[in-house]
Amino acid sequence: MQHAVASLRVADHRIDRLADRTGLSARQLQRRFVRHVGYPPSRFARVARLQRFLHLATLESDEHLADLAARSGYADQSHLVRECRSITGLTPSRLRSIAPATSYAPTRVDDGVRSVQAEHRRGARRSAA
């Protein structure tokens, strides 16, 4: 399962392709991922992609958002804006302006898991409200 988590951390992968690489069916991979991580791979991948954007945005502070979006794995800038607002409630520009000038790329998979778990809890609280 750590291979699946690490793969989603560094790049976008389709679940069926990732399942093929792990030797599991897509449904088995999803169930095991939820049991291991606490939420579906799709949510983990969304947050990991946003973390890639933040990492690049702190390194390349003068780069245009559309370029950062493409380099982070988003289809276009509007995709980045929708995902950023959905996950954080902020626009990418606002998030970029308040982000500390440090790396957002976790050095260990567990760091990324904790970050996504925090996002998951925030989302659950918003849904309950």
- Whether residue 64 is contained in a domain is answered as yes
How far is the CA of 30 from the CAs of 8, 45, 46, 48, in angstroms? 13, 12, 15, 17
Closest C-alpha among 11, 34, 90 to residue 21 = 11
108: number of Cβ within 10 Å: 10
Handedness of CA 75, 77, 82, 87 (dihedral sign): positive
Domain span at 7: 2-109
- Whether residue 129 is contained in a domain is answered as no
The better pLDDT of the pair 41, 64 is held by 64
Domain count of the chain?
A: 1
Q: How confident is the model at residue 122 (pLDDT cuts 50, 70, 90)?
A: low
4-60 tens-digit pLDDT: 555 555 555 677 888 888 888 989 989 998 998 888 888 888 988 998 899 899 888
Residue 61 pLDDT: 78
Q: What is the dihedral of CA 71, 98, 9, 28, to 10 degrees?
A: -120
Q: Which of 40-44, 89-93, 103-107, 124-128 has the lowest mean pLDDT?
A: 103-107
Domain holding 65: CATH number? 1.10.10.60
Q: How confident is the model at residue 113 (pLDDT cuts 50, 70, 90)?
A: very low
Closest C-alpha among 94, 108, 112 to residue 52 = 112
| Mean pLDDT across 74-84 | 96
DSSP-assigned letter for residue 13: -
pLDDT at 102 over 80: no
